[in-house]
Chain A
């Protein structure tokens, strides 16, 4: 028995050391050598989820790089922001998509739900702090270890193939052709009623948005929150009151560019939350014009928040 215990314990210890080495060394190398490049002329970086991913066609906005990624909560955006800003000093302005669904508890699932975590965590695990790990482990201990394994495998393969370039893999403009048929009214069951009460708010997502802002401020970047156009029937618009309250309470120091009601037609939308190619073309051209006209230099936040046309929701 004595011999068995000694052999088993040494095997287990050796295995743990090996696993640690496999998990940490490639992770360290990825963190050290990873490359997050943005074109030298691009001074504006845009981060966010699928709304901004589909709304800003950055080929039409020369100074802007769209780094949004669908189903990305601020937790993962934060990791990305750190790397892009530290490696691209030419970025002077950071735009962060802030729209109605980003205060909802759905964002918690985007952060530690298995499907999302297993996709996003392996990408960004190398850049996370211990507190970030703790947060995920606390909320989804069951699958956190699985995701650590997947992350270790991802990093191991990156290290083996010397493939440290994240450029183009962490987001960008996403083109959607056509429109899904939009019903004349919002299906009642789809309305997230809970979004209007406090318990349905994702405090984690809000905290990480604050972290992103603080990090950008620490790097002396101009930060703007931006809301891209949403269809008037978009279900999450239901939480507008709560959304405004949170913005005023936690982010009143940050300029808010609100294009929620930007005038678009039904066939400019792929669905209630996303612009299609046609809509993105109109909106991006408009945004480019506003940037050229000094929108991001103005200090008058009130004027920034007002769209300059009335909404057209018909047709």
Chain B
């Protein structure tokens, strides 16, 4: 059940009506309803993995309680590591086992030993990386005494499984979401309208920009050996917009839906393509994951308050793990490594916190320097996306090899309807303008302060609806569901 499907629309209306009109008197009933709805939502993907989700929830719930009740530190540590091992064990089996088996076989083959490793014929449970990280953040926070262990199983389960964030984040923290679960929610008109507005913008990003770009990106990457370098650059740019609009569109919809039920989820994107260096980019891209790794991996390793080589080591570790988190493929590991290499100079030169505010804050246009910095950062980002998108490392290197050839200076060739391609390019340009105008808000159309009159803003919303209707193509799976 995709957020941008008709079925989900019906589901959302039913849950909303029951939540605010039927079960609005008792918090526990509301939480139970949301939990049931979340399990139903998950079961619509694959009911068999619902058991895994429930098991993972039970495990973290009980280990949290056990840690809280533990009399000795070693016992507490034991429960922590039990939870971490089992959680990562599941992730390892479902997501990484085949990768390790194949890599080992490949390694042995290179030294003349031929193995036929046993591989698992299982599909990856949707959202496993996300809910595993929810659970891990909870047990680590309980262990570190940042939060008390949750005694109410319904409340805890809802924190792990709340349907807007269940399959693709944002990756929530118990310290942030659990208190909201346990507090009586009142309907807030402004927040609900804000939520609907964010859903609309997310839907536009996903159904219009991401899905349209997907057609071209898929075509170019699938036939990359036949296209000149200039077309391959175009393919990488299309993919850059596809993945941004796909994932941030999903996040916007998740945040908007949560607002309808009185929840405030963590922000996941903050206009990353307007970043002036890679460090800023990583503070603005997939924020909930970056901050998760920062708090639960980078800082425990010593963070940046260590010597130079440890800083380098920690940065490499965090990006390699982040790459590996995305998928069991060498392409993701190289993607992580490249990001680490791009970000390291600014960490070593201590310029990584030069750009904490959004570009050209309070101004209409960026300075020439800012513009060039944004352009350079965007080029680095799309370079890394090639590895993220490619099916294999070989394909990625071949793709890059063809880009850096004479054909880079040729006119891009694409066997498609030119008018439709032009429409998509115009849509992307309009999208960039709206994002730029709204970059100081939580999401681009939160306030629309550049449209002074209410009538203009309403016209803008109706235009969005019409554009969504006109440009919605074939429903494409959200990219991050595979992680």
Which residues of chain A have a CB within 8 Å of any CB of chain B?
Answer: 1, 3-4, 7-8, 11, 14-15, 18-19, 22-23, 114, 118, 142-143, 145-146, 149-150, 152-153, 156-157
**Contact in complex: A4, B469 (CB < 8 Å):** no
B460 at the interface (CB under 8 A from A): no
Top 9 nearest A-B pairs by Cβ distance? A153-B470, A15-B465, A149-B472, A19-B469, A1-B187, A149-B469, A4-B189, A4-B192, A22-B466
Give the complex CA separation of A1 and B471 in angstroms: 32
**Contact in complex: A145, B474 (CB < 8 Å):** no
Give the complex CA separation of A11 and B473 in angstroms: 23
B196 at the interface (CB under 8 A from A): yes
Other-chain contact of A8, B196, B471, B474 (Cβ < 8 Å): B196
**Contact in complex: A15, B6 (CB < 8 Å):** no
B20 at the interface (CB under 8 A from A): yes
From DSSP, what is the main secondary structure of chain B's interface residues? helix
Closest Cβ–Cβ distance, residue B322 to chain A (whole Å): 35
**Contact in complex: A14, B462 (CB < 8 Å):** yes
Q: Mark B157-195, 1 if CB is under 8 A from A, else 0.
A: 000000000000000000000000000000101001100
Closest Cβ–Cβ distance, residue A145 to chain B (whole Å): 7
Q: Mark B6-29, 1 if CB is under 8 A from A, else 0.
A: 100000000000001000000000
Closest Cβ–Cβ distance, residue A298 to chain B (whole Å): 44
* Chain A residue at minimum C-beta to C-beta distance from B464: A15
**Contact in complex: B474, A143 (CB < 8 Å):** yes
Please give, as numbers and ranges, the residues of chain A lying within 8 Å of B196 by CB-CB distance.
8
15 contacts between A and B (CB under 8 A): A1-B187, A4-B189, A4-B192, A4-B193, A8-B196, A22-B466, A23-B469, A118-B474, A146-B472, A146-B475, A149-B470, A149-B471, A149-B472, A153-B471, A156-B470
Give the complex CA separation of A114 and B476 in angstroms: 13
Closest Cβ–Cβ distance, residue A154 to chain B (whole Å): 9
Q: 16 other contacts beyond A19-B469, A114-B474, A149-B472, with CB at 8 A cut-off?
A: A1-B189, A4-B187, A4-B193, A7-B193, A8-B196, A18-B466, A19-B465, A19-B466, A22-B466, A22-B469, A143-B474, A146-B473, A146-B474, A152-B469, A152-B470, A153-B470
Give the complex CA separation of A143 and B211 in angstroms: 14
Closest Cβ–Cβ distance, residue A23 to chain B (whole Å): 8
Give the complex CA separation of A305 and B192 in angstroms: 71
**Contact in complex: B189, A3 (CB < 8 Å):** yes
Please give, as numbers and ranges, the residues of chain B lying within 8 Å of A152 by CB-CB distance.
469-470
**Contact in complex: A18, B465 (CB < 8 Å):** yes
**Contact in complex: A145, B6 (CB < 8 Å):** yes
B461 at the interface (CB under 8 A from A): yes
Closest Cβ–Cβ distance, residue A10 to chain B (whole Å): 11
Please give, as numbers and ranges, the residues of chain A lying within 8 Å of B470 by CB-CB distance.
22, 149, 152-153, 156
Please give, as numbers and ranges, the residues of chain A lying within 8 Å of B473 by CB-CB distance.
118, 146, 149-150
**Contact in complex: B469, A1 (CB < 8 Å):** no
Closest Cβ–Cβ distance, residue A115 to chain B (whole Å): 9
* Chain B residue at minimum C-beta to C-beta distance from A17: B462
Closest Cβ–Cβ distance, residue A187 to chain B (whole Å): 25
Closest Cβ–Cβ distance, residue A42 to chain B (whole Å): 29
**Contact in complex: B461, A11 (CB < 8 Å):** yes
Please give, as numbers and ranges, the residues of chain B lying within 8 Å of A4 by CB-CB distance.
187, 189, 192-193
Please give, as numbers and ranges, the residues of chain A lying within 8 Å of B472 by CB-CB distance.
146, 149
* Chain B residue at minimum C-beta to C-beta distance from A23: B469
Please give, as numbers and ranges, the residues of chain B lying within 8 Å of A7 by CB-CB distance.
193
**Contact in complex: B471, A15 (CB < 8 Å):** no
* Chain A residue at minimum C-beta to C-beta distance from B462: A18
Closest Cβ–Cβ distance, residue A73 to chain B (whole Å): 20
Give the complex CA separation of A56 and B321 in angstroms: 62
Closest Cβ–Cβ distance, residue A14 to chain B (whole Å): 7
Closest Cβ–Cβ distance, residue B261 to chain A (whole Å): 13
Closest Cβ–Cβ distance, residue B463 to chain A (whole Å): 9
* Chain A residue at minimum C-beta to C-beta distance from B190: A4
Please give, as numbers and ranges, the residues of chain A lying within 8 Å of B465 by CB-CB distance.
15, 18-19
* Chain A residue at minimum C-beta to C-beta distance from B6: A145
Please give, as numbers and ranges, the residues of chain A lying within 8 Å of B469 by CB-CB distance.
19, 22-23, 149, 152
**Contact in complex: A15, B193 (CB < 8 Å):** no
Please give, as numbers and ranges, the residues of chain A lying within 8 Å of B20 by CB-CB distance.
1
B438-483 residues at the A interface, CB under 8 angstroms:
461-462, 465-466, 469-475
Closest Cβ–Cβ distance, residue B186 to chain A (whole Å): 10
Please give, as numbers and ranges, the residues of chain A lying within 8 Å of B466 by CB-CB distance.
18-19, 22
Please give, as numbers and ranges, the residues of chain B lying within 8 Å of A142 by CB-CB distance.
475
Give the complex CA separation of A8 and B194 in angstroms: 12
Closest Cβ–Cβ distance, residue B445 to chain A (whole Å): 14
Please give, as numbers and ranges, the residues of chain B lying within 8 Å of A22 by CB-CB distance.
466, 469-470
Closest Cβ–Cβ distance, residue B358 to chain A (whole Å): 30
Give the complex CA separation of A11 and B471 in angstroms: 20
* Chain B residue at minimum C-beta to C-beta distance from A3: B189
Please give, as numbers and ranges, the residues of chain B lying within 8 Å of A150 by CB-CB distance.
473
* Chain A residue at minimum C-beta to C-beta distance from B467: A153
Give the complex CA separation of A11 and B474 in angstroms: 25
Closest Cβ–Cβ distance, residue A126 to chain B (whole Å): 15
Give the complex CA separation of A249 and B276 in angstroms: 73
Give the complex CA separation of A156 and B470 in angstroms: 9
Give the complex CA separation of A19 and B464 in angstroms: 11
Please give, as numbers and ranges, the residues of chain A lying within 8 Å of B419 by CB-CB distance.
157
Give the complex CA separation of A11 and B199 in angstroms: 14
* Chain B residue at minimum C-beta to C-beta distance from A118: B474
Q: Mark B184-216, 1 if CB is under 8 A from A, else 0.
A: 000101001100100000000000000000000
Other-chain contact of A15, B189, B462, B474, B475 (Cβ < 8 Å): B462
Give the complex CA separation of A19 and B466 in angstroms: 6
Closest Cβ–Cβ distance, residue B7 to chain A (whole Å): 10
Closest Cβ–Cβ distance, residue B190 to chain A (whole Å): 10
Closest Cβ–Cβ distance, residue B262 to chain A (whole Å): 12
Best-surrounded residue of B6, B196, B465, B470 (most CB of chain A within 10 A): B470
B243-290 residues at the A interface, CB under 8 angstroms:
none
Please give, as numbers and ranges, the residues of chain B lying within 8 Å of A145 by CB-CB distance.
6
Please give, as numbers and ranges, the residues of chain B lying within 8 Å of A146 by CB-CB distance.
472-475
Closest Cβ–Cβ distance, residue B17 to chain A (whole Å): 10
Closest Cβ–Cβ distance, residue A208 to chain B (whole Å): 25
Please give, as numbers and ranges, the residues of chain A lying within 8 Å of B475 by CB-CB distance.
142-143, 146
Closest Cβ–Cβ distance, residue A200 to chain B (whole Å): 27
Closest Cβ–Cβ distance, residue B361 to chain A (whole Å): 32
Please give, as numbers and ranges, the residues of chain B lying within 8 Å of A153 by CB-CB distance.
470-471
Give the complex CA separation of A33 and B465 in angstroms: 28
Best-surrounded residue of A8, A15, A142, A152 (most CB of chain B within 10 A): A15
B113-156 residues at the A interface, CB under 8 angstroms:
none
Give the complex CA separation of A143 and B6 in angstroms: 11
Please give, as numbers and ranges, the residues of chain B lying within 8 Å of A18 by CB-CB distance.
462, 465-466
Please give, as numbers and ranges, the residues of chain B lying within 8 Å of A114 by CB-CB distance.
474
Please give, as numbers and ranges, the residues of chain A lying within 8 Å of B474 by CB-CB distance.
114, 118, 143, 146
Give the complex CA separation of A146 and B462 in angstroms: 19
* Chain A residue at minimum C-beta to C-beta distance from B468: A149
Give the complex CA separation of A152 and B419 in angstroms: 16
Give the complex CA separation of A64 and B280 in angstroms: 67
Closest Cβ–Cβ distance, residue A87 to chain B (whole Å): 25
